[in-house]
A = this chain, B = another copy of it.
Amino acid sequence: MVWDAWGVPAGHKPLSDGIRALLTQVFGISGQPVARREEGEVPLVPSALSETDHTGLGALIGREHVRVGDIDRLRHAGGKSTPDLLRRRADGPQDAPDAVLFPADHRQVLDVLAYCAAHGLAVVPFGGGTSVVGGVDPVRGGFPAVVALDLRRLDTLTDVDPVSGTATLGAGLTGPQAEEKLAEHGLSLGHFPQSFEFASIGGFAATRSSGQASAGYGRFDDMVERVLVATPQGTVDLGRGPASAAGPDLRQLFVGSEGTLGVITAVTVRVHPAPDAVVHEAWSFPDFATGAAALRSVVQTGAAPTVLRLSDEAETGLNLARTAEIGAPPVSGCLAVTTFEGTVAHTGARMREARDLLAAAGGTPLGPEPARQWEHGRFGAPYLRDALLDLGVLCETLETATSWSNLGALKAAVTTALVDALAAQGTPPLVMCHISHTYPTGASLYFTVVCKQLDDPLTQWSAAKRAAGDAITGTGGTITHHHAVGADHRPWMTAEIGELGVRVLRAVKRELDPTGILNPGKLVP
């Protein structure tokens, strides 16, 4: 990915004249893009890696795989949250890891961790670099240097078992690489988060990622059958078969551990045959509450769509769910998208059942086209954010989840918190929301916030983020449904898991990472 924005240059797209006009009218921005720097022009904080350590690490994984050049370091300088991108746009030298390591396999990761533990080097495991919560920030945590451990060379597909529907994926495979390799066996993973094109299998596991097809294929944590983890104390290899009562499920300690307890080097995941049939249908609901109740009836009845989502009135009105249509005349009501994948018989039966339920709950069918448009543009929204930031518009997202009965209250509380915190700074925002992940007992809420940037947008957003996080934990939501904790959500972790929960996490970390080299400043309060 490019160093100061989402994705690849080919994906970037300018805003339409219609949107520019709208933004100028609503936010009073100038409409003139701010200047950005080429990666070769950016001054970096000098590398603090000693020559001794450079040589020592090079002896373990090959000196050519220990990179200290500016471009390598800059491309591992952090993730892709809006604050990250704002910091990259700021003047002055950029912080970056002191070296980037590219180990070849699990054994080399073990060796690197043992070396770094012995020599006091902080280690940031690095997959696709798509974190939006500061999860890969190059924090030294009191150590003289920090290295990024880029796992891209762990890119194998092994142990394909089409009978059981499992496969073992190297942590460094990106979403498309994993799907491509599985497709050679007629299989698919079906994990499509917005970060799909760049994020890695190890990152999905380490952050409890949830993809847009979670209604059908589950969250990534549901998919993990077995996890292989390198720690400074050796290897952890957990998972025997599809289910077990052999004590606590320790896999669930490492799934979501965000590189603080070890480095996930491979996962055995549940896969499925590439679907015979994929059918789409979009729906309109008069309002969000009616639409949410309709989604609830579908998921609680077990009608099992593959994708099930609902945009609120604001998001629907701006066509944010159909990025190609943004700026087109506003649409009323709330747009819902369903897709069904599987055998022809299965998708047909499921779609009929869901259709009956959605219609009975007050929905109006819109046919397949709006759902296809959503699918077509579904990885594009982060590019849109870059174009907005370039124009001086602040744009960021955040997400949570709660029970169905608390969904309306939580949506209102977060919206109010965001509006109040930004209006108080003279920059009233647009706040849009959608449900993208549904469960029998509740759903996620995903908020997009857009407002005019102030001169210090980091401080501006920080106040809004703090207000939203407090509203979430104060109204019974989880501080994150699928973005993970990183550095940014750490202030709310004690509210999330309690003091004793934090002590448990620390006890596990002490056991596996006694010197504390693993991803300092992330997750564990």
Q: Which of A60-68, A207-215, A307-315 contacts B (4 or more CB under 8 A)?
A: A207-215
A248 and B255 within 8 A (CB): yes
> What is the minimal beta-carbon distance from A488 to any residue of chain B, in angstroms?
12
Q: Is the CB of A234 within 8 A of B270?
A: no
B481 touches A346 (CB 8 A): no
CB pair B496 A303 closer than 8 Å? no
On whether the beta carbons of B208 and A481 are closer than 8 Å, the reply is no
Indicate if A325 sits at the interface (CB-CB under 8 A). no
A-side binding surface: helix, strand, loop or mixed? mixed
Q: Which residues of B contact A343 (CB under 8 A)?
A: 301
Q: Given A248-B253, A508-B504, answer yes or no on A242-B496 (Cβ-Cβ < 8 Å).
A: no
A179 to chain B, nearest CB (A): 18
Q: How far is the CB of A203 from chain B (nearest CB, A)?
A: 12
Could you say how many copies of this chain the assembly holds? 2
Q: A39 contacts the other chain (Cβ, under 8 Å)? A: no
- Say yes or no: is A10 at the interface (Cβ < 8 Å to chain B): no
Stretch in A76-84, A89-97, A374-382, A434-442 touching the partner: A434-442
Interface residues of A (CB under 8 A from B): 161, 163-166, 207-210, 219, 221, 225, 231, 233-238, 240-258, 261, 270, 272, 296, 300-304, 342-343, 345-346, 349, 352-353, 356, 400-406, 437, 439-444, 476-485, 489, 492-493, 496-501, 503-508, 510-512, 523-524
Interface pairs (28), CB distance under 8 Å: A161-B403, A161-B405, A163-B296, A208-B245, A209-B245, A235-B498, A240-B476, A241-B403, A241-B441, A242-B442, A243-B439, A243-B442, A243-B481, A244-B480, A246-B478, A246-B484, A247-B256, A248-B252, A248-B253, A248-B254, A251-B252, A272-B300, A301-B343, A345-B353, A349-B349, A349-B352, A500-B512, A507-B510
